[in-house]
Amino acid sequence: MQRASLPSGVSFTAIQVAGEREREAARADALFSDPLAGATTAYVRETAGPDEPAPYMTPDMQWLYGDFFAIRTRFIDERMLSAFHDGVTQVVFLAAGMDGRAYRLDWPAGVRVFEFDRPEMIASKQEVVRHAGLSPKVEVTAIPGDLNEDWPPRLRAAGFSADQPTVWVVEGLLAYFSPEAANRLLSHVAAQSAPSSRLLTDYVKGDHLVPAAQAGRDTGAAMAVLATLFRTGPSADPWTWMSGQDWDIDVTIGAECARALNRPVPPAVDPELNGAVSYLVDARRL
């Protein structure tokens, strides 16, 4: 069978995260299961040629991130599900990647999901889903596009309503955005957010990720890719970054979230190790 190629550039990171979710799902004490993650890694193994680099976590990256992706996933799962009790009926995944929530969560009736990502990422996801024979548990509309462009019209054209409260999931994206691009994204989200909408997102403040990735450049394929992709993300803590835009901001520090889930604090988000502070943000639109 002719296969679509795997996504390249920044979309490669979605394959890395799927690999980590599969690793988590295989644990006896897993924080979630994820059939799409398993399907993704199976597809990668079948597709990869013998000379292709390891597609996801190499030991250097594993050391840096530990269980961070699983911890972040669980945090967003819990906050997203809680939003349904508040009557939210739209969920928009910006930079959806291989997010498997549409395939693994129990969705209330009437919720609509929009998944926005780069065209090649969407094509790869659809190919993996088709190949594995997975069916979403909720109505999903995929929207190909570029979040650095004027994307809200594409979302509205796909049926999104800015009048309905929405959960925005922006998971694992901001590290690849400049401060200016992060500001633009936030303004677009705010302008499309009816009262009681929620923005669930994450980023790490601290200058260690870029040097850590660069230091790992020669030691692992995954780090080599990341070193070329990292930007700085938002330039301030969430309270400052989101100030003046009518958000009620609830922040969980990544290291504390790890401890609450009985997981070791990953070096990438350990303030005691390198001063990095990871913010897991749950903001409610006033």
Using the minimum distance from each CB to ligand SAM, give the nearer residue, 117 or 270: 117
Indicate whether 126 belongs to the interface with ligand SAM (CB under 6 A).
no
Indicate the helix (H) or strand (E) that contains 244.
Answer: none
Task: Name the minimum Å distance from CB 25 to ligand SAM.
Answer: 13
CA distance 61 to 56: 9
- Which tokens go with 170? 């922006």
Q: Terminus-to-terminus CA distance in the chain, angstroms?
A: 51
CA distance 38 to 33: 9
Task: Name the minimum Å distance from CB 262 to ligand SAM.
Answer: 22
- Which of the residues 174 through 193 are near ligand SAM (CB under 6 A)? 176
Among 39, 71, 128, 173, binds ligand SAM (CB under 6 A): 173
Main-chain dihedrals φ then ψ at residue 255, nearest 5 degrees: -60, -40
CA distance 28 to 45: 23
Task: Identify which of 69, 67, 92 has the alpha carbon closest to the alpha carbon of residue 13.
Answer: 69
Using the minimum distance from each CB to ligand SAM, give the nearer residue, 101 or 208: 101
Task: Name the minimum Å distance from CB 225 to ligand SAM.
Answer: 11
Indicate whether 171 belongs to the interface with ligand SAM (CB under 6 A).
yes
Indicate whether 23 belongs to the interface with ligand SAM (CB under 6 A).
no
Indicate whether 57 belongs to the interface with ligand SAM (CB under 6 A).
no
Indicate whether 24 belongs to the interface with ligand SAM (CB under 6 A).
no
| Site stretch for ligand SAM (CB under 6 A), options 22-30, 143-151, 196-204, 272-280 | 143-151
- Spatial strand order of the sheet with 247-253 comes to 139-144, 112-117, 90-94, 166-170, 198-205, 277-285, 247-253
Indicate whether 250 belongs to the interface with ligand SAM (CB under 6 A).
no
Indicate whether 8 belongs to the interface with ligand SAM (CB under 6 A).
no
Task: Name the minimum Å distance from CB 202 to ligand SAM.
Answer: 9
State whether residue 159 is helix, strand or coil.
coil
CA distance 203 to 195: 24
Using the minimum distance from each CB to ligand SAM, give the nearer residue, 53 or 87: 53
Using the minimum distance from each CB to ligand SAM, give the nearer residue, 172 or 234: 172
Q: Sign of dihedral through CA atoms 14, 103, 23, 2?
A: negative
In the block, tokens 């979230």 appear at 257
Report the residue number whose CB is nearest to ligand SAM.
97
In the block, tokens 């809200």 appear at 152
Indicate whether 79 belongs to the interface with ligand SAM (CB under 6 A).
no
198-205 vs 277-285, strand pairing mode: antiparallel
Binding site for ligand SAM (CB under 6 A): 10-11, 13-14, 17, 95-99, 117-118, 121, 146-148, 171-173, 176
